[in-house]
Structure 1
Amino acid sequence: MTQWFVKDLSKLTGVSVQTLHHYDRIGLLTPSLRRANGYRVYSEKDLLKLQQIIALKFFGFELSQIKTLLKEESNALKHFNSQVQVLEQKAAFLLEGARTLRSIVDSVDANQSIPWETIIQLIEVYKMTEHMEHNWVKEIFTPDELKQYAEFEKELKANTTLEQKEAFENSWHLLVEAVKNNLEQDPGSALGIELGKKIMDWVNGVYGTKYAHLRTKKFEKGFGEGKGLDEVGLTPEIVSWMDKAMDAYWRDRIYGILGQVGKKPSSTISALWHEMLIDMYGEDTSRKNAIYEIALNDDKVSSQAKAWLKNMLDI
């Protein structure tokens, strides 16, 4: 059976020695044999795995995603479908830039001056998105959403002091650590609901209602698909637990509000309901409307509460 030292494998595949060392450190590609002197020895099986990694990187998958894919090949098609959407969105973003530039070219005659003000505005938008803190969001947001996200980051930096930023980051790391220490617990338990509330309070404190739709998509299409996890101390297991805990928190809050129908004034319940919807999805009307449908089809919601919900929809 053929074997290779790290330098030989590097020459064979075109992957640098430093990259192979990095793959080993993060557990993505561990050599089958490590000699007493520390030399890495790669087998034919390792070579095949490296070729798979190279192929997945070609299609834009991040290392954390590739690691998950190679462990769970049964779910590969699902990840491939998601990546197709990512690549299509990238293509759409590039096409929008090409169309915009084409419209400028077509609107200017040879004897006219170039509309530099318009071009400068386009460049500013590009620069705003180019230097985003989490660069991978370009893969999940539409061009319009990218502009909004760039505005969000700009506002956040302008309105947040260094001390506040450090406090936000510290509180986030404490939340992540709390989840990590309770992964064996049921996310639907009282503890899970409590942590779910703390996570949502933290996230809403950062994004507010104006950018809640970006917050939701970033979690679902970003962290939920394995993107940018290392940057914020997450793992697929932590994300999954958080998702279930937040869902349990929202369900508990929904049941708590609807359980008061017939016991408290409708105006009081209505205020609580609208406050909850804003906390959940901000100004995203379509997602808020979907909550009505979910509640109306939930067997745990009483017929009296469902009648109240239908009345709210008619208002």
Structure 2
Amino acid sequence: MKQWRPKEFANLVQVSVRTLHHYDKIGLLKPSLRQSNNYRLYSEKDLLKLQQIIALKFLGFELTQIQELLTRNDNAPDHLAMQSRCLREKAASLMEASAILDRISQDCSNNKPIPWKKVIELIEVYKMAQQLENAWVKEIFTPNELKDYAKFETELRTNSTPEQKETFEKNWFHLVEEFKNSLCDDPNSETGIRLGKKLMDWVNNLYGKKYAHLRTKKFEKGFAEGKGLDEHGLTPEIVCWMDKAMNAYLKQRAYAILNNVGKISSSELLQSWNQLMDEICGVQGDKKSAITVIALQDEKISQEAKEWLKSVYKL
């Protein structure tokens, strides 16, 4: 059986003697042989164990994790699977950082100064995206939507003072309280339509056309399915009533616009209709088409208005 003194062993596997002493001190790898003069030697068994340690370190494991893996094999598959996920996330982070550097380098071409404001903005968006990796919104958004949501949250945070944020939150919870106090009313009533308008005005002011698609998905795939309710002071009952009230308000607006077909110019009509669609759908063209299909089946809409919609969307 081969055996090595610490310095020889360190040279063999290309680690420092100091590293071996540290592994010995923490109990990760102790020399298994001892000479009569009390001098300790490493064996072939120690070599195999050190190679395992080096391999696990390469895979990103911490020394405490390595120690557990080498002493307990029963949960090794779980550790390996978890580390695999961790490495994928790190790889994605590095790719994102690389993309940020590419964008910065393009802006710095032709001897232009580094655009530090943009650099900081990109980094803030990146950091926000990292935070959202552990948030419930990750469950409902696609990777690209999550990036957009990170931009939205970053812009919101950057453009708001602490006082504005406090006022914003107070206004939101006051609005939620209004809905809560109206649960016994019909969401299609005047009260429902009034609150539906108030909510739509509030969220449109917050998200704008640029992020309207995120607002819609956050409500439909998040709140409506019970996600993120507590932090927003919501309950399933309030969300359901909100949805019906908003629909009642939007239907009322749609009917009012389409009732003007033949009464006002087509350009005025189109401007009002497009504004409504932008508020509902943002940049989602497919959703606008879906709403049009539903409108064509609505018995409350005149045939003249339906023909106008067909001409607008070339159906």
Band the TM-score falls in, shorter-chain normalisation:
0.5 to 0.7
Count of residue correspondences: 211
Find the counterpart in structure 2 of residue 160 from structure 1: 160
Report Cα offsets for 1:10-69 as digits up to 9, x if no partner: xxxxxxxxxxxxxxxxxxxxxxxxxxxxxxxxxxxxxxxxxxxxxxxxxxxxxxxxxxxx
1:225 maps to a residue whose letter is E
Structure 2: how far apart are the matches of 1:98 and 1:256?
Answer: 52
Structure 1: how far apart are the matches of 2:175 and 2:264?
Answer: 35
For residue 222 of structure 2, give the secondary structure of its aligned residue in structure 1.
helix
Q: TM-score, normalised by structure 1?
A: 0.61
1:98 maps to a residue whose letter is R
1:290 maps to a residue whose letter is A
Find the counterpart in structure 1 of residue 70 from structure 2: none
- Relative to 1, partners in 2 of residues 1:117 and 1:210: Cα closer, same or farther, differing over 3 Å? closer
In the TM superposition, residue 134 of structure 1 has moved relative to its aligned partner by 8.8
Larger radius of gyration: 2
Q: How does 1:88-103 map to 2 (within 5 A)?
A: 98=88, 101=91
For residue 185 of structure 2, give the secondary structure of its aligned residue in structure 1.
coil
CA contact (8 A) 2:196 2:242 kept: yes
- Relative to 1, partners in 2 of residues 1:121 and 1:234: Cα closer, same or farther, differing over 3 Å? farther
- Relative to 1, partners in 2 of residues 1:118 and 1:261: Cα closer, same or farther, differing over 3 Å? same
Q: How does 1:41-56 map to 2 (within 5 A)?
A: none
| Consecutive unaligned residues in structure 1, runs of 5 or more | 1-93, 105-114
In the TM superposition, residue 166 of structure 1 has moved relative to its aligned partner by 1.9
Report Cα offsets for 1:195-244 as digits up to 9, x if no partner: 00100111111111111111100001110110110101000000000000
> 1:195 aligned to 2:175?
no
| Consecutive unaligned residues in structure 2, runs of 5 or more | 1-83, 103-121
CA contact (8 A) 1:132 1:153 kept: no
> 1:269 aligned to 2:262?
no
Find the counterpart in structure 2 of residue 173 from structure 1: 173
Structure 2: how far apart are the matches of 1:116 and 1:299?
Answer: 50
For residue 312 of structure 1, give the secondary structure of its aligned residue in structure 2.
helix
- Relative to 1, partners in 2 of residues 1:233 and 1:267: Cα closer, same or farther, differing over 3 Å? same
Runs of 4+ in 1 over 6 A off after TM superposition: 119-123
Deviates more, 1:262-271 or 1:159-168: 159-168
User: CA RMSD, aligned part only?
Assistant: 3.0
For residue 202 of structure 1, give the secondary structure of its aligned residue in structure 2.
helix
- Relative to 1, partners in 2 of residues 1:100 and 1:313: Cα closer, same or farther, differing over 3 Å? farther
Find the counterpart in structure 2 of residue 306 from structure 1: 306
Query: How many percent identity over aligned positions?
Result: 55
In the TM superposition, residue 119 of structure 1 has moved relative to its aligned partner by 8.0
Structure 1: how far apart are the matches of 2:273 and 2:146?
Answer: 30
> 1:224 aligned to 2:212?
no
Report Cα offsets for 1:234-272 as digits up to 9, x if no partner: 000000000000011111010010011111111111110
Find the counterpart in structure 2 of residue 118 from structure 1: 98
Q: Which has the higher contact order (CA 8 A, sep 6+)?
A: 1
Structure 1: how far apart are the matches of 2:210 and 2:131?
Answer: 22
Q: TM-score, normalised by structure 2?
A: 0.61
Report Cα offsets for 1:85-118 as digits up to 9, x if no partner: xxxxxxxxx98x839949x9xxxxxxxxxx9962
